[in-house]
Structure 1
Amino acid sequence: MVKLTKRAVEAAEAKTKDYILWDEELPGFGLRVFPSGKRSYIVQYRQCGRSRRMAIGLHGIWTAELARREAKAQLGRVATGDDPAEERQEDHRAMTMKQLCERYIQDLEDGLILGKGGRPKKQSTIDTDIGRIKRHVIPLMGSRRVKDLTRADMVKIMRDIIAGRSRIVVKTKKLRGKSIVKGGPGTATRTLGLIGGILTYAIDLGVIDRNPTHGIKKPKYKVRERRLTEAEYGILGQLLIEAKKNEQFWPSTDIIRQIALTGCRRSEIINLKWCDVDLSGSCLRLSDSKEGRSIRPVGLPVIEFLEAEHKTATGSYVFPGYGADTAFGGFPRQWNQLLNGTPLEGVTAHVLRHSFASIGNDLGFTEITIAALLGHAKGSITSKYIHVLDATLITAADIIAGYVDALLKGARFQESAYSLDRVTRKNTMSEFLAGRDARTSR
């Protein structure tokens, strides 16, 4: 044993095997000498009946005197009951954000991550979440230890995404397909929300005990406010008439018309099955919409179309694909082919849904009625015990669908909010009461 000084350390000779030279003044402080000639300061102690050894650092980076001070500090912690070596090992084993994301994705795909209403997330949502994780979360923070993440880190990541620092061109599954990931305020807001969900998952695992995303102000992104004018409905109707002459565009023309007449989401119409269609109840009983189970009242023009199609239907899907009992898969491509180079270029299927809601508002229907027609959570009809819908909802669906159908055929209306017109209201009431009297007298 010698006192470990600069001279003593540099005089220590390398041997065929590594060995430890202990300090004679500070028990537990030593120098490990490797066959290569490399020298490392160490500290050794006993805690809970076990001998523990921990490296301080290499000679050259650490001087003998600094290493001695560090050894004293760590041995002092041991005297108070701490275990520095164990803490360091836990630090080395600490889960990174990439490791957490990989575990989250596995549980997500296994249906263990619950979304709205305590239900497993839909596959489309899972695909979107995985895309954001791989394109934004892991590239920007994958190497960071989860337990070290702070609110400031979250703010920086959000700003990086807004600034487009995670911008990338990604190959898709389609032939020569690619997706340009740009970032921006909307992407930043959604990604930060996803990170918040992942970190809440980490809390459930016991990895952390707080969520650093809570309370962060997110940028407001532009809400889709585009709606079709009456003239644009006429243009769309004419495009559909012309396209229907070409068998190439079947069944996209019918899908577009039904989205416009129902206000349903694109995926809900494309994946619509005959078992979801209730012709006598004038509704669609969707078992797997974005909001879970959902009953959608639909207007008479829709029912008449479905009745005609049902007579010749052979498969499960209302709009079948070319494979064995599959939904039609060519809609996105045909949508673009139909609208590119026309006054409606850039219009999305969501615009038809928003336009349906806007017309409902123009016609004087309440927000809750429109929400019920669209399948929004605040107005959704989800009870499996409901077999007969409120006549008000059927009437609303008839009026809005009839109005949109007329616009597609080129009609122009003098007054949109005719549902509040007193003469119309009296006539409607008289017709209703007359019908009731007629049925009673039978």
Structure 2
Amino acid sequence: MKLSKRSIERLRYDGDGKEPVRYSDTEIRGLSLRIYPSGRKKFWLRYRVDGRRRELALGDYGPLTPEQARSMALEKMGGVAQGQDPLEEIQRDKQRGTINDLAKAYIDGHAKPNKRSWKTDEARLEKYVKPAIGNLKPASVSRQDISRLHQKIGVTNGKPYEANRVLALVRFMLNKGQEWGHVPEGHPNPCRLITPFEEKARTRFLGDSEIMRLQKAVAAEDSIYFRGAIWLYLLTGLRKLEVLRLGRSEIADWDRGLVILRMSKSKKKGPDVRSFGEAALAVLRVLPEVDGNEFFFPSTRSKSGHMMGFRKRWNKVRAAAGLEDVVIHDLRRTVGSRMASGGESMKIVASVLGQASSRIAEEHYAHLSPSPVQDAANRYGDLLVKVAGVDPAKAVSGEDSNDD
């Protein structure tokens, strides 16, 4: 019979009470309706692949209409005609796991081996991606799912730049997932048509009077580690976590100011070697050492053993200094802009900041002697001390900078 709403509604179970009764559709070969002793009615598709008979459940009658079942059957049979096995595809989809599984594979299989900043990727996945779409199958993630996530971070949370970073991360992760078999081959990436938020390059850096106001506000704080961290940002241009993760064993040569960052976020290939000026080294020397903890900025609260941030203190300090619009990364920009305006070459500035450049520039940096880099860091440190009007090490340790 032709399976239609009218004909199916008339059908009742008339079997032996154990096995379902099967009714074949006369329109689509292989499509049938099974009625179970409980009265449940379900569409099935029977087909052959490589001589083997296969049966695929399409869905229950009610949620699925006869027309929808017929359309699904035609789609599946089209794949069978091309040598595909719909049942095997479903089984493979189950084995592909969820976005949570793909995220773990991405971190272990790509991020950790290839990216110094893999912990940033991991943090974004944990904070934003997993709570939103972690339990979904990669192939079932829709453009609407990604758009909602992007809008929530960028608009609701007010973090458009972060939203764009998360969008790029998910796009790349899903592409890798297709390469690794977590996503069906040829499946469209749901991120591809999402428009990123507009980004404007930030150019904020501190002027002379602002540096003086900042150092006075920092000096009023009771934490020597917080005072030391802010001064280190201003003296070295390190990124936020590069400072907080800095370990004592990373100072390769105190006399020459050579530092080899293990947890660098720089995209340069090979070890990330920096040169600290004497002012920065003096700050590090006054930071109290904690037994069993090798970090300059230790913490007993974090699992990492080092400070992870100081948002409340920073907000308090910048408010006291009248610098509410200044973010921590602006201190890094201050280093670069002041060194450049002081006459240092762009290559030296890039080397001090640990910035990646073109291949030719990288080759030049590889042969760059640390001496001129440290000289530049020293000149900048002297300039900053002059502007701030205080010795950084004494300011961090709490000593009166005027007592000589």
* Fold conserved between structures, TM > 0.5: yes
Distance 2:367 2:79 in 1: 71
Q: SS in structure 2 opposite 1:52? A: strand
Structure 2 gap segments, 5+ residues each: 392-404
AA of the residue aligned to 2:225? P
Does residue 309 in structure 1 map to residue 306 in structure 2?
A: no
Structure 1 gap segments, 5+ residues each: 168-180, 412-442
Shift of 1:54: 4.1
Shift of 1:120: 6.2
Q: Measured at CA, do residues 124 and 240 of structure 1 come closer, stay the same or move farther in structure 2, by a change above 3 Å?
A: same
1:34-433 correspondence to structure 2 within 5 Å: 34-40=36-42, 42-54=44-56, 80=81, 86-87=85-86, 90-91=89-90, 94=93, 99-108=97-106, 111-114=108-111, 118-119=114-115, 121-138=117-134, 143=136, 146-147=138-139, 154=143, 159-161=147-149, 163-164=151-152, 182=157, 185-206=160-181, 207-210=183-186, 212=189, 213=191, 218-243=196-221, 248-277=222-251, 278-291=253-266, 293-306=271-284, 308-309=285-286, 316-321=294-299, 326-328=305-307, 331-378=310-357, 389-409=369-389
Shift of 1:359: 0.5
Equivalent residue number for residue 439 of structure 1: none
Distance 2:93 2:145 in 1: 21
Shift of 1:96: 11
Shift of 1:128: 2.5
The aligned length equals 377
Equivalent residue number for residue 20 of structure 1: 21
TM-score of the aligned structures, taking structure 1 as reference length: 0.67
Q: SS in structure 2 opposite 1:316? A: coil
Q: Measured at CA, do residues 69 and 394 of structure 1 come closer, stay the same or move farther in structure 2, by a change above 3 Å?
A: closer
Q: Measured at CA, do residues 279 and 7 of structure 1 come closer, stay the same or move farther in structure 2, by a change above 3 Å?
A: closer
Distance 2:194 2:299 in 1: 45
Shift of 1:403: 0.9
User: In the TM superposition, what whole-angstrom CA distance separates every residue of 1:379-422 from its partner, at most 9, and x where no partner exists?
Assistant: 89999xx89934321221111111111111179xxxxxxxxxxx
Distance 1:258 1:198 in 2: 35
**Higher relative CO (CA 8 A, sep ≥ 6), structure 1 or 2?**
2
| Residues 153 and 162 in structure 2, CA contact (< 8 A), matched pair in contact too | no
Distance 1:20 1:219 in 2: 57
Shift of 1:59: 6.3
The structure that has the greater radius of gyration is: 1
Point out the more displaced range, 276-285 or 218-227: 218-227
Shift of 1:63: 8.6
Q: SS in structure 2 opposite 1:296? A: strand
Q: SS in structure 1 opposite 2:256? A: coil
Q: Measured at CA, do residues 370 and 52 of structure 1 come closer, stay the same or move farther in structure 2, by a change above 3 Å?
A: same
Q: SS in structure 1 opposite 2:53? A: strand
AA of the residue aligned to 1:198? M
AA of the residue aligned to 2:178? I
Q: SS in structure 2 opposite 1:377? A: coil
AA of the residue aligned to 1:261? L
| Residues 258 and 274 in structure 2, CA contact (< 8 A), matched pair in contact too | yes
Q: Measured at CA, do residues 261 and 199 of structure 1 come closer, stay the same or move farther in structure 2, by a change above 3 Å?
A: same
Identity rate, percent: 20
